[in-house]
Amino acid sequence: MTVRPSSSPSDGLLSGLSGNPDVDGELDDPALLRALLDAEAALARAGADAGVLPAAAADAIVARCHAERYDPAALGRAADAAGNPVVPLVRELTAAVPGPARGWVHHGATSQDIMDTALSLVAVRALGPVLRHLDAAVAAAARLADTHRDTVLVGRTLGQQAAPTTFGLTAAGWLTGLTQARDRLRQAGDGQPAQLGGAVGTLAALGPAGPEVAARFAARLGLPATALPWHTRRQPRLDLAAALGGLLAATGKVALDVGLLARTEVGEVAEGGTGRGGSSAMPHKRNPVDSILIGAAARRGPGLVATLYAAAVQEHERAAGGWHAEWEPLRDLLHLAGGVSGRCARLLAGLRVDPGRMRANLDATGGRVLAEAVAARLAPAVGRDVAHDLVARAAAAPAFRAALLADPEIRAHLSGTEIDEALDPYRWLGSAGVFVDRALAAARAAQA
């Protein structure tokens, strides 16, 4: 058997179950190397723009800032000596440029400047496809909310049947969570800045032109500039970590609900997709695979977010280990974000909804899920506590409706027609439809 080397994080035996190829293509080692070289090229161009280094030197440096010229694996091995891959990359880049330009390579920067900036680029590039998948998930959730605005569903609290709601409102909740997660993620991505501060954040090596070079450096890369270097103030990374964690939570909520509603005993929804969800042992199984894998990713998120928050407390002008600790968990979070956004879009677009089963499950308790509605009709006559106890007594009987009709204390205040009206789930949906409409309107406004 010929063993083919993996070309992408999504090509691995396990990583394809948590990631997405179009996102992972912006996160792998070649992508990070490309971002590091883009930062070095922008640094040279910015320096030349500000008159700090010769334009010919900048041209020579930029001409050698092509990722295919360098071996990521070799750079990774060499990084052990310095603690980061920028040092060996700068050494190889310097050797590659003509002699007169060598002294201008990496001029004014420190390794952290290039690494922080490259990771901002990686994040922004990876978030492009993540947000496209999220747009598709939002659109699919909106379709479900609109289609099933008035489809009755039993609401469940603390794991038990509670009172009627609608599947449209459930989908509207998913829609709102996904829309908020998408918008916060977009904002956090837009806030990933370039970093240029030099050895201790003074840009002394660039002289008076330092602030101008930093501004031109950010502009060349299409990243925000900051008023001063942020070497040990990691709020941009914390904003991104929190937004990624929020995305994992929002998609995890969808997955958890779908998995529960798809249980054999419930059967109110099912994942679509021909040939998906099979079991190695049981031919009859149709497992909710996307829900399972989204849920697995959501469970990994909190630890990664916590690592980035723990790493954010950094000492002095530049930290020993704090910024280093961010690299892998940040890429892992972006990897998981790609997986859950794509899977959630597919899950919601293909979701099979069974309104008949939803109504049957709502009716399974013989109207007991409308006990609150009956008590609400009775309360004005006898008081809330007495009404609650009278209805609870009827709910304990084998047949709830019959017990209500047979109870003289209840019948003294409610007619049979009034009891039947109270047992109609469509009369106890409250503002469910209004809330669905609000969620749809908010999603449309966010998309505009």
φ and ψ at residue 70, rounded to 5 degrees: -125, 155
Residue 166 pairs with which residues in a beta bridge?
Answer: 152
> DSSP states of 177-211 as a string?
HHHHHHHHHHHHHHT------TTTSS-GGGGGGHH
Residue type, 174: W
Q: What angle do CA 432, 437, 421 make, to 5 degrees?
A: 30
Distances (CA, A) of 16 to 13, 19, 372: 7, 5, 47
How many other β-carbons are positioned within 10 Å of the β-carbon of residue 206?
Answer: 22
- Specify the long-range contacts of residues 98-104, CB closer than 8 Å, at least 24 apart: 98/60, 100/56, 100/57, 100/60, 101/54, 101/56, 101/57, 101/60, 101/61, 104/44, 104/47, 104/53, 104/54, 104/57, 104/58, 104/61
Phi, psi of 370 (to 5 degrees): -100, 15
| Alpha carbon separation from 162 to 3, 107, 248, 371, 388 (Å, rounded) | 55, 66, 27, 9, 15
Cα–Cα distance, 414 to 387 (Å, whole number): 11
Nearest to 316 by CA among 423, 237, 250, 233: 233
Q: Which residues are catalytic?
A: 279, 318
Tell me whether residue 400 is exposed, middle or buried, using C-beta atoms within 10 angstroms of its C-beta: 0 to 12, 13 to 18, 19 or more. buried
211-248 as b/e: b if 16+ CB within 10 A: ebbbbbbbbbbebebbeebbbbebebbbbbbbbbbbbb
The tokens of 280 are what?
Answer: 């190695």
Cβ proximity of 164 and 155 under 8 Å: yes
Q: Cα–Cα distance between 173 and 253 in angstroms, integer?
A: 10
